[in-house]
Structure 1
Amino acid sequence: MHRVAPIRLLSQKLSSRAIHQLKPPGPNILRGPSSTRPTIRTLPLRYIQKPAAMSTTTATQTTAQTVGTVRITAENMQRLFPEINTSLRESVASSSELEGYDEEQVRLMDEVCIVLDEDDKPIGSASKKTCHLMANIDKGLLHRAFSVFLFDSEGRLLLQQRADEKITFPGLWTNTCCSHPLGIPGETGDTLEAAIVGVRRAAQRKLDQELGIPAKQVPLDDFEFLTRIHYKAPSNGIWGEHEIDYILFTQKEVDLAPNPNEVKDTKYVTADELKEMFQNPALGFTPWFKLICETMLFEWWGSLKDLSKYTNEKEIRRM
């Protein structure tokens, strides 16, 4: 009988292609919120190069092999495998910043946002939580967002009051829908044209999720892209916004079924009625909505029947 030498990994560094080809069975690599480091599953032998001299008989008789590896920890994971996204580990870790918040809103903080440079070029991705912590915003972390302004056939703007369960800017009045395209295929775009397609898809998705508006009532091509605004605003001592926000207009008659975990109230308003709301000290408004209202909203609103001279602006407006 031939003696079999222990199998050794040829290299500790895996290529991106090799990592994507490895599909070991089983659920998430993390065992639950109590884990402090990922558990890496042992690779099946078929993923490891066999010595050329191994015979069929020997391979059959050998039921287990010892694989020499470096111990993988949360601290050295990125150094050894830069292709691996560690957001899963971060999402299950305990977070004092999120203690006491609504369970569903905490879950949504794991959504992956598109991280940008100041020219709106995607340079990475990070969790919604990471992107909205003021500690990161103060260091310059910037992500992509969108704001939908939906008008009815009479030209009234649909407003929503954010639910009290929201982690950022709870209870404040704002435009129809404001959220983020996700770092997923179909919603990420490197060019302006591709990014517009991505935010339209995200807008359609979130109008349904927040307000119960069926996708068929807001076709993608009916969202008119006007411009982008770059702004930064704190919510409280912990949370805030730092976004390049895509402004989308659409005029539709829609059915509403608001999600109470997202939306506290809705109302259609004329331009004059909105101006009156701003005079009421008992009402609060999101910072991006106030910025848009103070600059261009009422001019755009007055040209609702023909927005052609305002659409597809290339320059980013810095607020």
Structure 2
Amino acid sequence: MTTEVELVVLADSEGNAIGTAPKATVHTKDTPLHFAFSTYILNPRGELLVTRRALSKKTWPGVWTNSMCGHPGPDETNADAIRRRGVDELGLEVDSFLDIQEVLPDYQYRAVDASGIVEWELCPVHLVRLAVGEFVEPLDDEVEEFEWAEPQKLFDAVDATPFVFSPWMVDQLSAPELRQAILEAFDAE
């Protein structure tokens, strides 16, 4: 039996794919620029899923963050990667999402955690709607705990205590277009 190595797609400064590397070797103190994605998942009640990263995570262990993040594999669309990570990280079925909307297509960031590990990602941000009757059952090695939050209350918490949340989430939620998209989806319910 062989275990498939998860690959991360490396990028140049102009957003072109320039190769791949095993995910396990990419996140270091000298992390290369690579492709990723962030998601904000809304349930049918319009609540936003926030997760606390597992304490075993290499970067930002125990930090509250957006619903889910990940890396698209070679030749994998972000939508397909989001569905895959929904299964692998949150215990969802592959068809759990009603729609996947790209809200911040050009988002990128570079951040250094307390241990010196760097995240440097071209990371489009997506808003995802969860189908009725779907339940999140996160995997322990990915998520320590999770909460469903009213969007405005989450925004207020991020604004008041940004140090409690991941730096990418704080930065992403500083974009008015993301907040607006989340609130419009919430109001639609």
SS in structure 1 at match of 2:164: coil
1:132, distance to aligned residue in structure 2 (A): 1.4
Query: Take 1:115 and 1:292, find their aligned partners in 2: how far apart are those partners?
Result: 22
Secondary structure in structure 2 of the residue aligned to 1:216: coil
Aligned residues: 183
Superposed structure 1 runs of 4+ greater than 6 Å apart: none
**Corresponding residue SS for 1:130:** helix
2:185 to 294, 301, 304: 304
> 1:163 maps to what in 2?
54
Aligned pair 1:126/2:21, yes or no? yes
In the alignment, does 2:69 pair up with 1:178?
A: yes
Gap runs ≥5 in structure 2: none
Q: TM-score normalised to the size of structure 2?
A: 0.86
CA distance in 2, matches of 1:304, 1:145: 24
Determine whether 1:154 maps to 2:45.
yes
Per the alignment, residue 120 of structure 2 pairs with: 242
Contact 1:214 1:255 in 2 (8 A): no
User: How far apart are 1:218 and its partner, in Å?
Assistant: 1.9
Deviations along 1:260-318, one digit per CA (max 9) or x if unpaired, are 1110111111123213433358x721111010112233222233279xxxxxxxxxxxx
Aligned twin of 1:193: none
Kindly indicate whether structure 1 or structure 2 has the higher relative contact order, using CA contacts under 8 Å at least 6 residues apart.
Answer: 2
Q: Which residue identity does 1:302 align to in structure 2?
A: L
C-alpha offsets along residues 179-236 of structure 1, whole Å, 9 cap, x if unaligned?
11123xx41xxxxxxxxxx1111111111111111112126xx211222211100113
Per the alignment, residue 101 of structure 2 pairs with 224
Unpaired runs of 5+ residues, structure 1, are 1-26, 29-106, 188-197, 307-319
Q: Distance in 2 between matches of 1:237 and 1:166?
A: 12
In the alignment, the residues of structure 2 paired with residue 164 and residue 172 of structure 1 have an alpha-carbon distance, to the nearest angstrom, of 8
**SS of 1:205's equivalent?**
helix
1:256 to 132, 136, 139: 136
Q: Deviations over 1:108-137 (max 9, x none)?
A: 9x5210001122211111122432112x23
- 1:23-54: CA deviations, max 9, x gaps? xxxx99xxxxxxxxxxxxxxxxxxxxxxxxxx
1:288 lines up with 2:165 in the alignment: no
What is the match of residue 78 of structure 2? 199
Deviations 1:78-124 (A, max 9, x none): xxxxxxxxxxxxxxxxxxxxxxxxxxxxx99x521000112221111
RMSD: 2.6
Give the distance between the partners of 1:127 and 1:285, measured in 2 at CA.
Answer: 27
Cα 1:275/1:225, change in 2 over 3 Å: closer
Amino acid at match of 2:175: T
Taking the aligned partners of 2:167 and 2:116, their CA distance within structure 1 comes to: 16
1: CA distance between counterparts of 2:149 and 2:81? 25
TM-score (norm 1): 0.52
CA distance in 1, matches of 2:157, 2:183: 18
Does the 8 Å CA contact 1:131/1:142 hold for their aligned counterparts? no
Q: Percent identity?
A: 27
Whose Rg is larger?
A: 1
1:260-279 pair list within 5 angstroms: 260-278=140-158, 279=160
d(CA) in 2 for partners of 1:236 and 1:111? 25
